[in-house]
Amino acid sequence: MGRRGNTPLTARQVATLSKVGYTADGLQPGLNLQVTKVTTGYARSWVFRYTSPATQRRREFGLGSLDVRSLAEARAEVDRLRGLIRDGFDPKDHRDNEVRARALAYSQRVLFRDAVAQCVTAREHEWKNAKHRHQWTASLETHAYPVIGDLPVNAITTDLVLKVLDPIWTTKTETATRVRQRIETVLDWCKARKLVTGDNPASLKGGLGQLLSNRTQTCPPFRFEC
């Protein structure tokens, strides 16, 4: 026998329901069990459907799978989300803002030297031998760490990168070029992990390129340094 329109779901039903699509919980408005067909059988997850107080548009908010959130827990979570809506918050936007705030708080604890270590570990498979790892870390330890090594990655600015490069830009051109590239790579890695936002301060496409171009005019003949 099928379920009636507003009949509350039971724990047994949500564990065995095989009707593909959304099945509403008659007890908690907006709560739906989503069933999808997979190769191993059926996957079941919770979805909260609501009207955004900001846009008045219908939205969906995933609450996780049945494996990690029971029926009772899903109902309790919807109660919490409905409280946010009553206070004028869109639950999905509220969650995204919390995620960004946590990422920002984390980035304020991640020092540049720690980000280098993590980035180097992630890139090791690209290098042919351990010499590359040593060159990477040695150049940054020597030239970048005294200036930005103990700074949070989201505090590094173009002026600070310039401060790293200034002492060696016209005397150790190749070394300076590699140091700049490596700082840029580390900060790109950080950006991909949402530890920093905005333009990369070590990129030549930004203000750094303009500042360094003035110094290039006074560079001595090329000398290879590593």
Mean pLDDT by 10 residues, the chain (226 residues): 68 93 94 94 95 93 94 96 94 88 75 93 78 86 95 93 92 92 94 87 84 56 36
pLDDT of residue 45: 96
- Considering 89, 107, 125, which residue would you say is the last residue of a domain? 107
pLDDT of residue 214: 60
pLDDT of residue 19: 92
Q: Provide the whole-model pTM.
A: 0.54
Look up residue 13 and give its amino acid: Q
CB neighbours of residue 65 within 10 Å: 12
Q: In Å, how far are 120, 159, 164, 208, 217 from 211, measured between CA atoms?
A: 28, 9, 13, 5, 11
Are 81 and 136 members of one domain? no
Query: How far is the C-alpha of 148 from the C-alpha of 41, rounded, in Å?
Result: 53
- Total domains in the chain come to 2
Q: Which domain holds residue 202?
A: 112-216
Are 66 and 99 members of one domain? yes
Among 201, 187, 188, smallest CA distance to 159 is for: 201
pLDDT of residue 131: 78
pLDDT of residue 209: 78
- The sign one gets for the Cα dihedral 122, 128, 134, 140 is negative
Look up residue 178 and give its amino acid: R
- Considering 107, 122, 147, which residue would you say is the last residue of a domain? 107
Are 50 and 143 members of one domain? no
pLDDT of residue 216: 53
Question: Does any domain span residue 9?
Answer: no
Question: Does any domain span residue 172?
Answer: yes
Question: Does any domain span residue 4?
Answer: no
Look up residue 16 and give its amino acid: T
CATH number for position 73? 3.30.160.390
